[in-house]
């Protein structure tokens, strides 16, 4: 893809990074005057919210029509964000995992109402005087997909951010790996009977990652690369690494406002304070719920594959329908619900929007599949605006407005008809 470079002078400063008021902010990727509303949005948003860098990609009717980078991938090195720069996508990893699980169900490796822990087959960490919660045997695969497994982090804790404590419980150096986290949680009580209500659970998707491994015979990431990403000609996505020294080629650098420090979860620098985005938690253990790296282009290719649900690219019609289906017992008058790996909003006439956001220290992301065949992904290398708002939430309605402002859409795919 042709990638011109335009330098725009931003008035103001970036409190996140200490960029000077007159620092030139680059724009990369092919500009199209028909899509100027997106350019205007991204320029003003980065300026107003003091964001180091971002990427936006848009598809229309399954074709990639817009892919541009704004600002800095690495402020210190003056490396601009490119349209294909890689970002930690955080919880946008969940729709990817959900598709893999539904594929395996489609292949009859298991049923969605099967008990999840009979498939995963991990033994609880023994705790003297405590028996595993009997309700664990009732947790189904579908419960995990819909965040109805019985764990409520607001009433207890999120084990995905307890690497040191869990590793210590096993007598091993931190950070804890996903199987240790699951075994630890199998010795903890549930907060409610599975299936009865929604409570967002990173841990539930950690379990689904191990389910994919147990039933496919492949490593989690290998299965997704081979069966979810390769059919879409998405070749650059990979699991992220925590440490800055292990940053992938073309991966951006992450910034947190105020540059906070926290105790490292890695044994190699145990007890030391590190930047929160580079060692205060372990992204390797978050693989199935928040561990992927992707470009905005990668994500809209994935997202737009469901513009015609059940076309056979990834899922058949029945399983694509399940993916976006309202859970039984949900109030049918409530327009927004969590399906299988996606937030869904009914917009009338059987149409709906589906999306997911992601948030980690130094990262805010959003991917949207809109009912009119317009899909987009916006990725940031910081997480909050100068007024403390999560960037993905703040930009969401603004991208809808920018899309609505387009009068004439391009019909040529920027990467070619097959996406390569």
Do 36 and 92 share a domain, yes or no? no
Do 73 and 138 share a domain, yes or no? no
Do 76 and 115 share a domain, yes or no? no
The mean per-residue pLDDT over the stretch 334-341 comes to 96
**pLDDT digit string (tens) for 100-119?**
999 999 999 999 999 999 99
Domain-terminating residue out of 328, 347, 366: 347
Do 109 and 73 share a domain, yes or no? no
Report the CATH number that the domain containing residue 224 is assigned in CATH.
3.40.710.10
The mean per-residue pLDDT over the stretch 279-289 comes to 98
Do 170 and 298 share a domain, yes or no? yes
Residue 326 belongs to a domain: yes
Where is average pLDDT lowest: 12-26, 38-52, 131-145, 164-178?
A: 12-26
> What pLDDT was estimated at residue 271?
87
Do 78 and 207 share a domain, yes or no? no
Residue 52 belongs to a domain: no
pTM for the whole thing?
A: 0.94
Portion of the chain with pLDDT greater than 90, in percent? 88
> What pLDDT was estimated at residue 329?
86
* pLDDT of residue 1 exceeding 70: no
Do 273 and 208 share a domain, yes or no? yes
Domain-terminating residue out of 330, 347, 364: 347
On average, the pLDDT of the chain sits at 93
* pLDDT of residue 73 exceeding 90: yes
Kindly report the length of the chain: 420
Do 79 and 107 share a domain, yes or no? no
- 83 pLDDT band, cuts 50/70/90, is very high
- 6 pLDDT band, cuts 50/70/90, is low
Between 121 and 330, residue with greater pLDDT:
121
* pLDDT of residue 17 exceeding 70: no
Residue 420 belongs to a domain: no
**pLDDT digit string (tens) for 286-316?**
999 999 999 999 999 999 999 976 666 899 9
Residues in a beta bridge with 344: 337, 354
* pLDDT of residue 9 exceeding 80: no
How far is 186 from 133, CA to CA, in rounded Å? Answer: 8
Do 100 and 74 share a domain, yes or no? no
How far is 122 from 115, CA to CA, in rounded Å? Answer: 13
**pLDDT digit string (tens) for 347-383?**
988 899 999 999 999 999 999 999 999 999 999 999 9
Do 140 and 31 share a domain, yes or no? no
Domain-terminating residue out of 347, 381, 405: 347
Do 116 and 71 share a domain, yes or no? no
Structural domain range at position 104? 85-347
Residue 366 belongs to a domain: no
Number of domains in the chain: 2
């Amino acid at each position: 893809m042709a990638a011109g470079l335009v330098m725009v002078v931003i008035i103001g400063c970036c409190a996140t990074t200490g960029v000077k008021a007159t620092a030139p902010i680059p724009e990369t990727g092919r500009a199209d005057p028909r899509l100027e509303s997106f350019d205007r949005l991204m320029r003003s948003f980065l300026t107003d919210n003091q964001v180091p860098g971002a990427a936006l990609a848009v598809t229309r009717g399954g074709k990639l029509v817009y892919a541009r980078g704004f600002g800095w991938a690495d402020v210190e090195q003056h490396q601009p964000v490119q349209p294909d720069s890689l970002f930690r996508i955080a919880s946008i990893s969940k729709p990817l995992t959900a598709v893999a699980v539904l594929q395996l169900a489609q292949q009859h490796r298991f049923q969605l109402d099967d008990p999840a822990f009979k498939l995963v087959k991990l033994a609880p960490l023994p705790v003297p005087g405590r028996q595993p919660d009997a309700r664990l045997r009732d947790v189904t695969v579908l419960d995990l997909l819909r965040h109805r497994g019985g764990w409520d982090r607001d009433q207890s804790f999120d084990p995905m951010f307890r690497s040191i404590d869990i590793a210590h419980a096993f007598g091993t150096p931190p950070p804890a790996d996903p199987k240790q986290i699951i075994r630890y949680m199998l010795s903890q009580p549930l907060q409610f009977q599975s299936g009865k209500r929604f409570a967002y659970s990173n841990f539930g998707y950690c379990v689904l990652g191990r389910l994919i491994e147990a039933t496919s015979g492949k490593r989690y990431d290998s299965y997704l690369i081979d069966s979810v990403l390769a059919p879409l000609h998405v070749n650059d996505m990979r699991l992220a690494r925590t440490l800055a020294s292990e940053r992938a080629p073309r991966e951006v650098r992450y910034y947190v406002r105020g540059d906070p420090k926290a105790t490292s979860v890695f044994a190699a620098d145990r007890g030391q304070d590190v930047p929160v985005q580079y060692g205060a938690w372990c992204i390797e253990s978050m693989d199935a719920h928040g561990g992927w790296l992707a470009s905005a282009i990668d994500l809209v290719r994935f997202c737009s594959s469901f513009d015609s649900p059940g076309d056979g690219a990834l899922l058949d019609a029945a399983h694509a329908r399940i993916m976006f289906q309202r859970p039984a017992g949900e109030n049918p008058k409530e327009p927004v619900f969590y399906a299988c790996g996606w937030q869904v909003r009914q917009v009338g006439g059987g149409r709906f929007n589906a999306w997911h956001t992601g948030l980690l220290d130094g990262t805010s992301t959003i991917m949207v599949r809109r009912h009119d065949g317009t899909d987009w992904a916006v990725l940031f290398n910081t997480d909050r605006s100068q007024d403390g708002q999560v960037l993905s939430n703040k930009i969401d309605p603004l991208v809808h407005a920018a899309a609505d402002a387009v009068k004439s859409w391009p019909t040529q795919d920027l990467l070619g008809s097959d996406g390569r």
